[in-house]
Structure 1
């Protein structure tokens, strides 16, 4: 390395941060004493509103997928696609927060049922992948050309799994 050259950490730093967030959420969810079902946003049936909020997040994740494909040249693009990608992602995370907070606070991280264990693991994966992707986006350089789609793909996979293990299950078994 030449004198005066600043050495930047590679992609490992955002990856470690993402793993740290995922593990931290899992440990918190496992160790704290769940409060049980509580009201969410003033609704009497918190599971119902959570299912609809999670369905909104899943819809925004589809927008993320289509806009990412356009950004990477796999679909036709337009000038508004980058802004659509950024804002649909921001909105998806914003809408997911009340759901995640309620899940962690009221239910915790549980492994007593395979569906619930998968849901708990996927929730931790989503926020870990999100943190890693946000840190990678802010880093210039070639090393991120493959890791940003990887982090986005992990987040998308987690959202799909979260929706299947929560909202889809809720709509099939409990109703609307």
Structure 2
């Protein structure tokens, strides 16, 4: 066998091959999370039980406001990422922006978890109209994209596009969830608590 046809040795493996494998593994794990959530939500018998929070008129109002908080924090995440990576012309990122970015992400996920648990446990995967089907699909996608992003954050040597694409996927999923739920709720019920 000639030298150009031999299997690569450890010394011949390029960093791009390692980062490509890391991205592929993270995406596959995230996709598995999304599929498992969808399967669970589909086969789980909905309980149609929810807990209301004092001060809110309904569980749907609570979910809508928590989703709105999560989206607002995610939009801050987007802006703070742009600032951290120097993508906002003529504005230097303040020293606290990195910590604010991390904590806004944590709070966004924290705000989204009760909503997701309610949707999975009380309602399950619904598809009786296009808006609801998209909401169910985007909910699964969001958590899969979130897991992918978290796994990629721990890897060194990734291409410069990897984290922005993962973060953009998370923001896109969360925005889609909000558009198909909270925005719909506010349009049909007004801005109520």
Give the TM-score of the pair, scaled to structure 2. Answer: 0.84
Return the alpha-carbon distance in structure 1 between the equivalents of residues 48 and 10 of structure 2: 58
Aligned length: 174
Per the TM alignment, residue 41 of structure 1 is displaced from its structure 2 partner at its CA by 4.1
| Residue 164 (structure 1) shift | 0.9
For residue 74 of structure 1, give the secondary structure of its aligned residue in structure 2: coil
Structure 1: give runs of 5+ residues left out of the alignment: none
Provide the C-alpha distance between the structure 1 equivalents of 2:37 and 2:10, rounded to a whole number of angstroms: 41
Match of 1:67 among 77, 80, 102: 80
Superposition CA RMSD, Å: 1.9
Tell me the residue number matched to 1:34: 46
Which residue in the other structure is 2:6 paired with? none
> Which string of whole-angstrom CA distances, capped at 9 and with x for unpartnered residues, describes residues 146-175 of structure 1?
111111001101111111111110011123
Structure-to-structure mapping, 1:22-171, within 5 angstroms: 22-41=34-53, 45-75=58-88, 76=91, 77-143=93-159, 145-171=160-186
SS in 1 for 2:95: coil
Normalization by structure 1: what TM-score? 0.92
SS in structure 2 of the partner of residue 79 of structure 1: coil
| Gapped regions of structure 2 (runs ≥ 5) | 1-8
Structure of greater Rg: 2
Provide, for residues 53-108 of structure 1, a one-character-per-residue CA deviation record: whole Å limited to 9, x for no partner.
11101110110110011122112311111111111000000110000000000111
Using the alignment, how far apart are the partners of 1:2 and 1:161 within structure 2?
A: 43
Q: Which runs of 4+ in 1 moved over 6 A?
A: none
Could you tell me whether the CA contact under 8 Å between 1:68 and 1:85 is conserved in 2?
Answer: yes
Aligned-pair CA distance for 1:37: 4.0
